Chains A and B, each alone.
Chain A
């Protein structure tokens, strides 16, 4: 509001504002993903670039469409649609048919985010929701594959893309590649799985910018490490394969779908860790991290309520008694 006489601005206190905005924070997460994007493109060349491009474009179009339909202003400037698009792309393997990734992105941005009320109201991590929806819907889409077959684009051969993923090798009890290589950069699996190191570099940037705290990743990693150790396996292989790294640092730490408090975050991370180990050791290993995080997303309101800390002015028990 501008006062009419001297054109002074009037608005409620506080009058100062920290610089971070939702847009700048989301952009930072985008930037934090660039190292792993670079490694993915290094291994899969145009396949990776094409897949990412398709997802980004779909994400933007989906957001525009849903905002138009609901009569709300587009919120592209908050970067969240682009970020979701990039996340979805990174959850697929390089040779995934492009239309599958596009549908997943549509589900992620359109259904998991916009239909839930927009950024902030979504209960599930949109990218994971889109990815997992495609797994669950796979039977339906099996025949759709044939329709789209003529649309498939041939972009030259990529031999690395057909090789077994390290996680599958681990489960099949195959000879594993050296740990150092697995950690630094090793092709196989989804785009985001190529390099734990690149993800860690990105995560370090997010810590530095204070967008995430250590609680969720630490709880998740420690839980997985301890439980796999008890199960008699080498925890490092579990940490460096599959969706563990992107899950711990980028997905489970998603602002909207994680608990409020540090204690809540620790519990949340630990529960995800337990579920991951159950999925990996007991059930099928594919996308165990994605399922675990989504399951725990559903419990966030419960965790928040149960973990509510007392207000500063809440009388302490002892003083009441005296």
Chain B
């Protein structure tokens, strides 16, 4: 078996054994959901409901006229308790619709409303838009934006790398929902006119590779690409490079790259949106960590507060722990437990004090070059960090700070514990300002 990969990157302990064998199960719906009006990159939705309104599960409760946006839906039946500011997992407060459950039906009824054989591009795009589909792997772009015909796009690349430690939701989806996944891929491939589909899967998921292979073994337009287990294999740029061998220059559009990348969860959800008319109201979330009594891969309603999820999974003691939404390399540590999971939340990870550490205790760079050796973007994180820390943005830009994908490897390997990603995130808007002022 040929195993493909990219240059740089690092082997990070992956802690997947807590949940990789745990079948996907449903978590009971919470009494209250907090649905943010902005869960994607782009324009926020306008609320379609107001306080006191009755809503049904699956009902659209927020939408926008903007192209770069995706509607949001009620993930439980109940009454709108509030439309207002709540803490969101991306940090800070934002507009949310809070729904209190009533005794109406709390499960979405799955009945087939379309024949997957007869869905054309236009209809497909409408379905994923109306279903509120966004990227579910990390970068939460509205899915419908990329649904269009482009002659140069010959490849649909499905991202099943799941390189972040702890996370296993995509892994379980590939194993348990391989059929929906392959059908969803077929639907997407045919509607955008791509010629082939590649499933990029890291080799630490042999059961997923086998499940998908079993279904596509007689097809010559689909293929599994086995990828080396290396972080950040699942980042779009590195997945494309590894799976297709194509370069990914900065700012390149899908047409120039000749391929479109889709997360496996998004692919299954798009299929369900088209065929069953099921909007994105729930997703598989990996709940894990060494102190979690019932770790697993759970179907969780969008908007469920993490307090509900952690209670169901038997987490009690949290003092000095870190609760991260997403993976531990790129996810965000949450300030309290009344934060909801959203469409792009891949995991809720509870890190005990001995696994993580506070970032204040960093020292000067000792030029050990470990970050340079491992940076998957071939940057110089050490130089970038020195200039970004000092606010010397022009210098930082010269050392290609803007190309940083914030994968976190540099801070992970740094013996001086320098919070490089933090400085990069702080410097990016400043450099953007500089770049604009030059034009």
Contacts and interface: CB of A to CB of B under 8 A. Distances in A.
A120 B364 contact: yes
B321 interface: yes
B366 interface: yes
Contact of A15 (B13, B331, B378): B331
Contacts of B30: none
A8 B350 CA distance: 10
Interface stretch (B94-102, B260-268, B414-422): B414-422
B336 A11 contact: no
A39 B110 CA distance: 78
Nearest to B357: A17
Interface residues of A, number: 48
B318 A311 contact: no
Contact of B421 (A7, A12, A260): A12
A313 B335 contact: no
Given A15-B328, A312-B378, A9 B353 contact: yes
8 contacts: A6-B319, A9-B356, A10-B333, A12-B425, A15-B331, A120-B416, A311-B378, A311-B379
Interface in B367-390: 367-370, 372-373, 376-380, 382
Interface of A: 1-3, 5-18, 20-22, 24-25, 75, 78, 117-121, 211, 213, 255-258, 260-262, 308-316, 319
Interface residues of B, number: 66
Given A7-B319, A260-B369, 19 more contacts: A1-B358, A7-B320, A9-B333, A9-B356, A13-B406, A14-B330, A15-B333, A16-B351, A78-B363, A117-B364, A120-B363, A120-B416, A257-B367, A261-B369, A311-B377, A313-B237, A313-B250, A315-B247, A315-B249
Nearest to B364: A120
Contacts, number: 173
B364 to A, nearest CB: 4
B324 interface: yes
B377 A313 contact: yes
B403 A313 contact: yes
A265 B351 CA distance: 38
B313 interface: no
Nearest to A261: B372
Contacts of B12: 16
B422 A12 contact: yes
Contacts of B378: 309-312
A319 B13 CA distance: 37
A315 B400 CA distance: 13
Contacts of B358: 1, 9, 11
B158 to A, nearest CB: 22
A21 B415 contact: yes
B335 A8 contact: yes
Contacts of B247: 315-316, 319
B367 A118 contact: no
Contact of B415 (A1, A20, A258, A260): A20
B377 A13 contact: no
B318 A8 contact: yes
B408 interface: yes
Contacts of B250: 311, 313-315
Interface string B404-428: 0010110111011101011001000
Nearest to B377: A312
Given A25-B415, A316-B249, A16 B355 contact: yes
A22 B366 contact: yes
